[in-house]
Structure 1
Amino acid sequence: MQNFLIFAILILGFIITFQIARASEFVSVIRGEEKTRKQTNKINAALLLVFLIVGLFGVYWAHHTLGDKILKLGSSASDHGILVDRMLKYTIITTGLVFFGTQILLFWYSFKYQESDKRTVYYFPHNNKLELLWTVVPAIVLTILIGFGIVYWYRITGAAPENAMQIEVTGSQFKWEFRYPGKDGVFGKKYYKNIDEVHDNPLGQIWEDAANHDDVYVSGQMHLVVGKPVRLIIGAKDVIHSVGLPHFRLKMDAVPGTPTTLWFTPIKTTKDMIKETGNSKFVYELACDQMCGAGHTGMRGEIIVETQEEFDQWMASQKPKYVQMKEAAAPAAPAAGATASKDSTAAPAATDSVKAVTADTATAVKKDSAGKK
């Protein structure tokens, strides 16, 4: 019934519009087409001038009212973001001057030079100087803007410094997961067929690789050090996602099976941003900038930017995933009065369970390799 009513309203609206158009034609015939055209031109010229004034006021009002509620130029929290803001500022100034100049002239000329019996039409078909002017000047301006863009692009996408932190970022429907290398500074190997949420191996780490034994796994929240470069190694487990860092002015796709990278240096801690924004609940956001499914809008991670001392304290409180797995596989503490012989048989059981996991991993890798061959 509701669909029928909507359809009927649309049909009725079409009929009314059609009848108004026909009535306008009859009126123009009665009054004379030339007189009707001149009157219509005057009305349109006045409306265009009103549109110009209201439109410019709307631009001012939107900037004045909403300026503090969006990401403002110069508020970037990363070194690369400063370059992005600067490039955007130059582009907005250049295109803004052209926009206001052309729009004001367009609507003002439409009003001033409306049809009039007191003025003769002047045809201006061609002018070499004007053609040269509006071809060469935009070409030079665009070349300068593109030059800035290329220079900044190579700075942003260049190799990360040798002292940069390494963090692995993995996206999946609908969450973000992070992995930090341990004291050895090396990430352990992973195998996609080894991903097992049930048995607490969300990234598919290969436990027989010793480099995995000190890697730290964190879900939902990433910690960074202010003033220290960080290189993100980005991937996905299911569909294409995208690491969106609005406060740092950065974005990079997360593609299954194809790692991507980006690097930057945070220049403001979370506490600095709380003071700057006046928002006691402020937190850096890691958003998914690629439509990835029904829960896309809720795929959100948090970033904590802190001092080196605070980061070291946080890292010291984290247990490597391998240690967590061993603790989960270990038997419960024996009850009071339990015999020593029972204790001696419990420990090997825990060890055997860890060995079973690594043995299964090795078998899966060998079978997959044989299949590919």
Structure 2
Amino acid sequence: MSIFITVAIIFLVLMIVYQIAQASEYAASLRSSESERQKKTNVVMASLLVAFFLCGLYGIWYCHTNLKDLLLPISASKQGESYDMMFVVTLAVTGIVFLITHTLLFWFAFKYKSTESHKSSYFLAHNNKLELIWTTVPAIVMAVLVVIGLRNWGVMTGAAPAESEVVEIVGKQFNWIVRYSGKDKVFGKRDYRNINDATNVLGMDDKDPASADDIVAQNGEMHLVVGKPVKLIIGSRDVIHDVGLPHFRMKMDAVPGITTTMWFTPTVTTAEMKKITKNPNFVYEISCDQMCGKGHYSMRGTIIVETQEEYNKWFAAQAPYFAPQNAAPATDTTKKAEATVAVK
């Protein structure tokens, strides 16, 4: 609401300035000649342009100073540090260009306003050297920025280190399903035809020996070890989702029928980030960065980054998905059949 009020006030101030300028113009037309009125109008408009430019610079400074708490904290992954550096370089290059060009734009509008001694003139001019400079230099700068981005993208989507932990994350409307391979470090086979929300959310093959120790978390919670690379195997059960990890500066689409991957190395535990952000309720978030339906807003998971000892303790307490305690309860018909057999 405060932002709306601020915008409304700014709009009203601009309207008042405009009305004052109009009133001044009408008053001048009654007191002076056409040329004198035009001269005063040019001075007023040129001055307002400079004032508008200075107000804009102040607004940029004010937002950067007072709204910096809305920015994300430091990157929680090693790869994310490269993305932060790329962002800073891009912002610096474009910021310098923005400042130079807009300073010249508004200054020229003020300095070369039309007066009695200086009239605007129009002529057709062409300078091949100038055209070459202002086309080639930006093209080279943009190409360098693109190459840096492609390099970082190639690292993120390339082959993960051999010692990486492998975790599968699957999106469905509207939550995340996380699977760990168990002690054998091999994921069991999946078949979408086996999917059953009550007994088999991922369509795992219960006859595959590799599925026997797979661990499935349906609450969207993922556990990772600090300092250990993790490779995410990403998929979707229904529509296109997107695994967004803003604190790690990572994101990747989850596409039905297609497996996508990315890897990164967590560098800050959840406990450490709580101290850095001074927020005891801080959690690493898994967001869905792709509009996936009416429940998109609720598709949120969490990541817990912990030490190896903490991870081992958590992992030891997890039961395989196909363990007896995770199996669906028997139906009444089955219970009656078992009772009949017992009586016989």
Mapped partners of 1:170, 1:40: distance in 2:
64
Partner of 2:75: 76
Partner of 2:111: 112
Q: Which amino acid aligns with 2:88?
A: K
Partner of 2:50: 49
Mapped partners of 1:190, 1:157: distance in 2:
23
Partner of 2:155: 155
Change (3 A) 1:203 1:270: same
Pairing 1:267–2:267 present: yes
Alignment of 1:57-72 (within 5 A): 57-71=58-72
Partner of 1:185: 185
Partner of 1:303: 303
Mapped partners of 2:98, 2:324: distance in 1:
60
Pairing 1:251–2:251 present: yes
Mapped partners of 1:330, 1:313: distance in 2:
32
Structure label with greater radius of gyration: 1
* Superposed displacement of residue 89, structure 1: 1.0
Provide, for residues 63-85 of structure 1, a one-character-per-residue CA deviation record: whole Å limited to 9, x for no partner: 0011122125xx11111101111
Mapped partners of 1:209, 1:170: distance in 2:
20
Q: Which amino acid aligns with 1:118?
A: S
SS in 2 for 1:49: helix
Mapped partners of 2:49, 2:138: distance in 1:
27
Alignment of 1:85-96 (within 5 A): 85-96=84-95
Alignment of 1:215-226 (within 5 A): 215-219=214-218, 220-226=220-226
Partner of 1:359: none
Mapped partners of 2:248, 2:192: distance in 1:
30
Provide, for residues 53-104 of structure 1, a one-character-per-residue CA deviation record: whole Å limited to 9, x for no partner: 11000000000011122125xx111111011111111111111100011111
* Superposed displacement of residue 121, structure 1: 4.0
SS in 2 for 1:252: strand
> Which structure carries more helix by proportion?
1
Unaligned runs of 5+ residues in structure 2 are 1-18, 332-337
SS in 2 for 1:321: coil
Partner of 2:10: none
* Superposed displacement of residue 32, structure 1: 6.9
Mapped partners of 1:329, 1:277: distance in 2:
44
Mapped partners of 2:175, 2:39: distance in 1:
63
Change (3 A) 1:32 1:201: farther
Provide, for residues 251-271 of structure 1, a one-character-per-residue CA deviation record: whole Å limited to 9, x for no partner: 101111111111111011101
* Superposed displacement of residue 329, structure 1: 4.8
* Superposed displacement of residue 122, structure 1: 5.9
Unaligned runs of 5+ residues in structure 1 are 1-19, 332-341, 347-373
Partner of 1:13: none
- Answer with 256-265 or 152-161: which moved more: 152-161
Mapped partners of 2:95, 2:327: distance in 1:
62
Pairing 1:212–2:211 present: yes
Mapped partners of 1:214, 1:330: distance in 2:
22
Pairing 1:317–2:317 present: yes
Change (3 A) 1:324 1:217: farther
Q: Which amino acid aligns with 2:165?
A: M
SS in 2 for 1:318: coil
* TM-score when normalising by structure 1: 0.76
Provide, for residues 255-310 of structure 1, a one-character-per-residue CA deviation record: whole Å limited to 9, x for no partner: 11111111111011101111111111110000000001111112110000001111
Mapped partners of 2:253, 2:42: distance in 1:
52
Mapped partners of 2:189, 2:136: distance in 1:
56
* Superposed displacement of residue 193, structure 1: 1.9
* TM-score when normalising by structure 2: 0.83
Mapped partners of 2:297, 2:280: distance in 1:
23
* Superposed displacement of residue 327, structure 1: 5.6
Q: Which amino acid aligns with 1:270?
A: T
Change (3 A) 1:194 1:328: closer
- Answer with 33-42 or 126-135: which moved more: 33-42
Partner of 1:277: 277
Alignment of 1:18-33 (within 5 A): none
Change (3 A) 1:138 1:328: closer
Partner of 1:132: 132
Partner of 1:350: none
Mapped partners of 1:35, 1:217: distance in 2:
81
Change (3 A) 1:324 1:116: farther
Q: Which amino acid aligns with 2:45?
A: N
Change (3 A) 1:201 1:325: farther
Partner of 1:99: 98
- Answer with 240-249 or 183-192: which moved more: 183-192
SS in 2 for 1:322: coil
Count matched residues.
311
Mapped partners of 1:151, 1:287: distance in 2:
25
CA RMSD of aligned residues (A): 2.7
Change (3 A) 1:239 1:276: same
Partner of 1:353: none
* Superposed displacement of residue 154, structure 1: 2.0
SS in 1 for 2:130: helix
Partner of 1:14: none
